[in-house]
Amino acid sequence: MGEGHLPVLVDEVVSSLAIGSGSSVADCTVGGGGHAERLLGTTSPDGRLLGIDADRAAIAEAKRVLAPFGDRVLLRQANFEAIYDTAMDAGVVPLDAVLFDLGLSSYQLADATRGFSFAADAPPDMRFDETRGLSALELIERSSERELAGILATFGEERRAGRIAKAIVAARAQDRIVTAADLAAVVAAAAPGRPGGADAGRIHPATRTFQALRIAVNREVEVLSAGLAGALASLRPGGRMAVISYHSIEDRIVKRFMVRESRDCIEDPLPPACTCGHRAQLRAVTKGVITAGADEVRGNRRARSAKLRVAEKLA
């Protein structure tokens, strides 16, 4: 499958999920099985793990890596928006713990045929499940300049969205976008140097464009919200969910979900007496976010932007 993938914040995930022998865990983003391997070690000798991934190649890799754990492992190619149904079908509900390690893996980034990287000499596809929905190239071909600018602004928080969308539409009209590398070059020429945001100056000019297209083609905002709700429904009282996110859009969704589900009343502004009937189902385990230490970041670039949040389902 290409280069290896180093799992992020593994010790922190394992300790904050508070699992042990016999626990049932769902890894909603099993990828290359890095976290799953540690979770299975922690729940040995008889804990079970349901590994879900939308990507067929990831499931194949997880199957290979997790083979030593035998029938303690159940793998399903599915979108985690369906975690509740998938876990019910697999017979593992109620779960003791659920993990989401969001985004893409190093395997996917390194596989040029998937078009996730700026250098890829293949069409920008960017779908986790290549059999569903539009590829990034198809999205580019079918969107108006205004729609593209909206995608880049909303999902990439790209300040130069208008300028980049205009350049992409002009390049598209001349058939100049065939590969992901072509797309990256068009963006870099339209908006060289500092992309908008706090990490300006240190990242490729097309970073936010690629992030935005990936989020759009995989419906990441929608499926994350559904996945978090499904995970909560799948947990036993006292069970925990851990979520690692890699950019502010994901982290905001996770934070808002955990804050909302930790409140008895979600009316805004809070009335003197609650009329919405909402009841808290979670309590935050982490105060704010857990991030990687300097040593981990030195050995694993992906850890730089990782943010871990953990919450426990109330009785």
Ligand X SMILES: C[S@@+](CC[C@H](N)C(=O)[O-])C[C@H]1O[C@@H](n2cnc3c(N)ncnc32)[C@H](O)[C@@H]1O
Contact residue for ligand X among 40, 50, 104, 109 (CB under 6 A): 104
Angstrom distance (rounded) from CA 171 to CA 176: 5
Beta-carbon contacts of residue 7 (< 8 Å; ≥ 6 apart): 34, 35, 38, 101
Q: Which stretch binds ligand X (CB under 6 A): 103-111, 160-168, 172-180, 285-293?
A: 103-111
From residue 153, how far is each of 100, 188, 311 by CA, in Å? 25, 16, 30
Contact residue for ligand X among 23, 42, 43, 105 (CB under 6 A): 105
Residue 205 structure tokens: 């000019």
What string marks each residue from 106 to 125 as x (binds ligand X by CB under 6 A) or -?
Answer: --------------------
Please tell me the count of residues contacting ligand X according to CB under 6 A: 21
Q: Does 16 bind ligand X (CB under 6 A)?
A: no
* CA-wise closest residue to 218 among 80, 86, 56, 84: 80
HSE on the CB side for 19, CA within 13 Å? 35
Q: Which stretch binds ligand X (CB under 6 A): 100-108, 167-175, 235-243, 290-298?
A: 100-108
Rg (CA), the chain: 20
Q: Which stretch binds ligand X (CB under 6 A): 90-98, 101-109, 199-207, 292-300?
A: 101-109
CB of 128 to ligand X, least distance (A): 4
Q: Does 31 bind ligand X (CB under 6 A)?
A: yes
Beta-carbon contacts of residue 59 (< 8 Å; ≥ 6 apart): 30, 51, 53, 75, 76, 77
Q: Does 251 bind ligand X (CB under 6 A)?
A: no
Which residues of this protein are in contact with ligand X, per CB under 6 A? 5, 7, 29, 31-35, 52-55, 58, 79-80, 101, 103-105, 128, 223
